[in-house]
Amino acid sequence: MKKLTGVPVSKGIAIGKALLFLDADFPEIPRFRIESNQIDEEWARFLAAVNEVKENVKSLRGVQESGAGERDDILNAHLLMLEDVEFHAQIKKQLEDNLENIEGAVWGVGHEFYQMLMASPVSYLRERAVDIADVTKQILNILLNIKKYSLADLTEDVIVVTRELPPSEAVAMNKRHVKALVMGAGSQTSHTAILAKAFEIPAVFGISAIVEEVAQDDTLIVDGDVGEVIIKPTAKKIEKYREIIAQASEKKHGQEALRDLPAETMDGYRVILNANIEFPDEVEQALRYGAEGIGLYRSEFLFLNTGHVGEEEQFQAYASVLKAMEGKPVTIRTIDVGGDKIPLNFRTIEEKNPLLGLRAIRFSLAHPELFKAQLRAILRASVFGVVKIMFPMISGLTELEEALSMLEEAKKECRKKRQAFSNNIDVGCMIEIPAAAVIADILAEKSKFFSLGANDLVQYSLAVDRNNEQVGNLSQPFHPAILRLIKKTIDDAHSAGIKVAMCGELAGDPAAAPVLLGLGLDEFSMSASQIPLVKQIIRKANSEKCRALAKKILTRKSAKEVEILMKEEDSQS
């Protein structure tokens, strides 16, 4: 028996047989000279291969299943790459300049694009390099007439073990038979990770030697909760994990029974539990887990895979979410790009410190036409439900006033075009920069609500890049400075008569729920699957005891002291 540790990507535990999937490697590329009179013939072969890949991609879209929204966004991104004018032009130029067979030109250009994106300091662009490689492989396989084994053809339950799974394979795999996914590469924000979460398949990534350590048909235990993979477990270990799986299933059923019950403490203190979403199709899952609204709709994901998205497309996406929520509130965060999230058509922008650069509200204010198009789309969609608008990364009053001014301009433009919109739209801002927390009393004068972005608040307060593994241990949400900033924000907001939500990872942390209750948080917004567990904890809590705990915690001098106190209180409850 051997235990390997990686990055937990998608929660859940699975026991099963390993399927070593090594079909994702690049094929061997034959390279030979051609005559100039063969260029048209080679180019025709390329176009035919591209069309065949496009048809394959299109055939996968539109199938209604869990995770369909994430799947279709990835497929649409691949279609855009297949139709990219620059990609085609570079391949044709290489074909004509080098007088080499089309396979060599496709590989050369695909590799060049891949290397360019992989060299980027921006993690999002490095992950998109995987898509370039995926599309290039698919074209080459058709040109070379290579028939690859596909995970779509699975007929029995397996745990897929691979170095790297291209998004096209993740999209097409037979979800009924893939019980878990283990990869040597990959990150929590890769396309394959997004799909694993959407399909609710346990997944552990980042175990570099996994394909060398595992043999075909080895029995594996994959623990996506903690990021562990156990190879050839003993009968005793298997039995132990089967008991854990059974307990988790029983617990899940118990939590599902709470779906329609309020998030209310034993002594009657009521809070709101909302879901975070990235794609419209996630609404179904949010409602299934009992979300009372959408606390964070990350609108930038409409832009990231496809580049520019027009007003009409945005309007359709926002309207579909509002209709599906049937009167439950939907908080749309205006485009939060920059830093590690850059739309394809802005990918040439280079900044020395992108996380401190032109991102979020700064990006929107620097691109007023793009910003107003988004605001008009939200306004027009508002007639289909209860919408709130939230501005990200506000650092001071001037930014907030400029954003509000843009909103007023967008309203005037809608009126001029006789486009209806609701007159009861609450507008608020995210508190995710220390400066915003310090002047929360000032920002509250111009806001209808606040939403604490805990992830960035930790990052900017403690000067810790949350994507940098070398300083990951310094990213401490229970650091006294963070807790004091949260408390000040809540107190200032309540003094001004407005409510405070939280939409970072801390809001979905069950251990943090009693503390946040005690600090006075009004709304929690999290991944939909976290809602039942957090609700269960809240319904067992006593608000007076939570306030007493928070008061004690605010006197502690380090994150370690806070965590020790939390554990002591938990063991006594």
Which CATH number fits the domain that encloses residue 198?
Answer: 3.50.30.10
Residues 94, 213 within the same domain: no
What is the mean pLDDT of the segment spanning 341-369?
A: 74
Answer whether residue 214 shows pLDDT above 90: yes
Residues 104, 73 within the same domain: yes
Interhelix angle 480-495/559-572, rounded to 10 degrees, is 70
**Contact in structure between 539 and 517 (CB atoms under 8 Å):** no
Answer whether residue 191 shows pLDDT above 80: no
Cα dihedral across residues 442, 443, 448, 449: positive or negative: negative
What is the mean pLDDT of the segment spanning 309-319?
A: 92
The two structure tokens encoding residue 427: 């507008």
| Domain end marker among 86, 116, 143 | 143
Q: Give one word for 153, left, alpha or beta, with left for phi > 0 and alpha for psi -120 to 50.
A: alpha
CB count in 10 Å sphere of residue 52: 15
Between residues 185 and 63, the one the model is more confident about? 185
Query: What's the count of helices (H) and strands (E) in the chain, helices before strands?
Result: 23, 16
* CA 485 to centroid of chain Cα atoms: 26
- pLDDT value for 565: 93
Answer whether residue 123 shows pLDDT above 70: no
Looking at the domain assignment, is residue 27 inside a domain?
A: no
* DSSP class of 508: G
Residues 14, 157 within the same domain: yes
Instruction: Name the pLDDT band for 173 (thresholds 50, 70, 90).
Output: confident
Answer whether residue 322 shows pLDDT above 70: yes
CA distances from 43 to 48, 88, 93 (A): 9, 10, 11
Burial of 32 from C-beta contacts in 10 A (0-12 / 13-18 / 19+): exposed
What is the mean pLDDT of the segment spanning 41-46?
A: 96
- pLDDT value for 69: 65
Task: Give me the domain span that covers residue 109.
Answer: 36-143
**Contact in structure between 229 and 6 (CB atoms under 8 Å):** yes
Least confident of 46-50, 350-354, 423-427: 350-354
Structure-derived torsion over alpha carbons of residues 208, 209, 211, 217, reported in degrees to the nearest 10:
-120
- pLDDT value for 504: 78
Mean pLDDT of the chain: 89
The two structure tokens encoding residue 544: 């007076």
Residues 271, 418 within the same domain: yes
The two structure tokens encoding residue 318: 């926002």
Q: Kind and range of the H or E element at 248?
A: helix 235-256
Instruction: Name the pLDDT band for 359 (thresholds 50, 70, 90).
Output: confident
pLDDT tens-digit readout, 250-307? 877 776 778 889 999 999 999 999 999 988 888 988 998 999 999 999 998 787 655 5
CA-CA distance, 426 to 382, in Å (whole number)? 11
Residues 339, 476 within the same domain: yes
Residues 14, 100 within the same domain: no
Least confident of 91-95, 99-103, 348-352: 348-352
Q: Pick the catalytic residue from 414, 429, 503, 546.
A: 503
Whether pTM exceeds 0.85: no
**Contact in structure between 507 and 263 (CB atoms under 8 Å):** no
**Contact in structure between 67 and 198 (CB atoms under 8 Å):** yes
Answer whether residue 60 shows pLDDT above 80: no
pLDDT tens-digit readout, 485-528? 999 999 999 999 999 999 978 999 999 999 999 999 999 999 88
- pLDDT value for 197: 82
The two structure tokens encoding residue 129: 């390099």
Query: Nearest-5° angle of CA 57, CA 60, CA 65?
Result: 150
Q: Pick the catalytic residue from 191, 414, 429, 479.
A: 191
Instruction: Name the pLDDT band for 344 (thresholds 50, 70, 90).
Output: very low
CA distances from 296 to 61, 225, 555 (A): 26, 24, 31
- pLDDT value for 307: 53
**Contact in structure between 187 and 193 (CB atoms under 8 Å):** yes
Instruction: Name the pLDDT band for 418 (thresholds 50, 70, 90).
Output: very high
**Contact in structure between 324 and 480 (CB atoms under 8 Å):** no
Three-class secondary structure of residue 109 per DSSP: helix
Looking at the domain assignment, is residue 23 inside a domain?
A: no
Here the CATH number for the domain that contains residue 112 is 1.10.274.10
CA-CA distance, 428 to 444, in Å (whole number)? 9
Instruction: Name the pLDDT band for 146 (thresholds 50, 70, 90).
Output: confident
What lies within 8 Å, CB to CB, of 410 at 6+ separation is 372, 375, 376, 379
- pLDDT value for 185: 83
- pLDDT value for 253: 75
Q: Do strands 7-10 and 13-20 pair parallel, antiparallel, or not at all (unpaired)?
A: unpaired
Looking at the domain assignment, is residue 29 inside a domain?
A: no
CA-CA distance, 561 to 183, in Å (whole number)? 36
Three-class secondary structure of residue 53 per DSSP: helix
Q: Is 546 tagged catalytic?
A: no
Looking at the domain assignment, is residue 241 inside a domain?
A: no
Residues 49, 122 within the same domain: yes
| Domain end marker among 204, 236, 268 | 236
| Domain end marker among 119, 143, 167 | 143
Looking at the domain assignment, is residue 247 inside a domain?
A: no
How many structural domains compose the chain?
3
Residues 338, 447 within the same domain: yes
What lies within 8 Å, CB to CB, of 112 at 6+ separation is 90
What is the mean pLDDT of the segment spanning 438-451?
A: 98
Residues 437, 482 within the same domain: yes
Burial of 494 from C-beta contacts in 10 A (0-12 / 13-18 / 19+): middle
Answer whether residue 342 shows pLDDT above 60: no
Answer whether residue 438 shows pLDDT above 60: yes
Three-class secondary structure of residue 231 per DSSP: strand
**Contact in structure between 203 and 9 (CB atoms under 8 Å):** yes
Here the CATH number for the domain that contains residue 557 is 3.20.20.60
Q: Identity (one letter) of the amino acid at 279?
A: F
Residues 416, 363 within the same domain: yes
What is the mean pLDDT of the segment spanning 448-455?
A: 95
CB count in 10 Å sphere of residue 115: 11
Residues 221, 308 within the same domain: no
CA-CA distance, 288 to 308, in Å (whole number)? 32
Answer whether residue 137 shows pLDDT above 60: yes
Instruction: Name the pLDDT band for 117 (thresholds 50, 70, 90).
Output: confident
CA-CA distance, 79 to 12, in Å (whole number)? 32
Instruction: Name the pLDDT band for 327 (thresholds 50, 70, 90).
Output: very high
CA-CA distance, 125 to 120, in Å (whole number)? 7
Query: 403 — phi, psi (to 5°)?
Result: -65, -40
Answer whether residue 195 shows pLDDT above 60: yes
Q: Is 503 tagged catalytic?
A: yes
Answer whether residue 148 shows pLDDT above 80: no
Q: Identity (one letter) of the amino acid at 537?
A: I
Looking at the domain assignment, is residue 157 inside a domain?
A: yes
Looking at the domain assignment, is residue 100 inside a domain?
A: yes
Q: Do strands 219-223 and 13-20 pair parallel, antiparallel, or not at all (unpaired)?
A: antiparallel
CA-CA distance, 220 to 2, in Å (whole number)? 10
Q: For the stretch 268-283, what's the b/e string if a residue is b when 16 or more beta carbons lie within 10 angstroms of its beta carbon?
A: ebebbbbbbbbbbbbb
Please provide the DSSP assignment of 124-171 as one string.
Answer: HHHHHHHHHHHHHHHHHHHHTT-----GGG--S-EEEEES---HHHHH
What is the mean pLDDT of the segment spanning 419-429?
A: 97
Looking at the domain assignment, is residue 327 inside a domain?
A: yes
Least confident of 108-112, 334-338, 520-524: 334-338
Residues 452, 349 within the same domain: yes
Q: Kind and range of the H or E element at 525?
A: strand 523-526
